[in-house]
A = this chain, B = another copy of it.
Amino acid sequence: MSDRDTRHQQAMQKLKSRVDEKVAEATEQRGLMLVFTGNGKGKTTAAWGTVTRALGYGYKVGVVQFIKGLWECGERERLVEDPNLEVAIMATGFTWDTQNREADTQACREVWAEAERMLADPGVYLVVLDEITYMLKFGYLDIATVKQALAERPAEQTVIITGRNAHRELTGMADTVTEMQEVRHAFNNGLQARRGIDF
């Protein structure tokens, strides 16, 4: 074996030990709370990727979309026929289009009621609260209400929260938090959002 091959083998052996050690230490099993936040692309997309994954195993999934209700949406077209997927949409569209705080608050509370129902249902394996962070930021929902529903959810249920500027009380109670940071975004360099990629 060449020197390079030997060094490679030793480095991989070391890496393997570290991986094995971490796997052995991870013994607790329960539903998780994940937060995908930050200003970069990929938050909602990662949530939908997880939805696909969970549905692939035959689990029931609930998705609540707090902002993108009026967008076309390839993944929804595809997945909507799955009897294990339920999608609730705040269908008023972008809050910067409606510009009406009272109507938006009302629409938000209605769709939050759907979220609360899903968060109380032990049959739902995964709940996605897509872009709920903005609802808290705009004051359409209060953090105490959301925290309580999350804390009281069934032990086996996983929740994913997406959106920029996640409330620190949400990141504080989450098991996994990823900050998606925008290094560069095509849209800011004059490139149009692309069908089947961006929406």
Shortest A14–chain B CB gap in Å is: 9
Given known pairs A26-B190, A49-B46, A74-B52, the reply for A15 and B197 (CB within 8 Å) is no
A residues 60-106 near B (Cβ < 8 Å) are 73-79, 94-102
A165 within 8 A of B: no
A192 to B9, CA, bound (A): 28
Q: How many copies does the complex hold?
A: 2
Contact status A101-B26, CB under 8 Å = no
Contact status B187-A183, CB under 8 Å = no
Instruction: State the interface size on chain A (CB cutoff 8 A).
Output: 86
A54 within 8 A of B: yes
A148 within 8 A of B: no
Contact status B174-A184, CB under 8 Å = yes
Shortest A38–chain B CB gap in Å is: 7
Contact status A125-B196, CB under 8 Å = yes
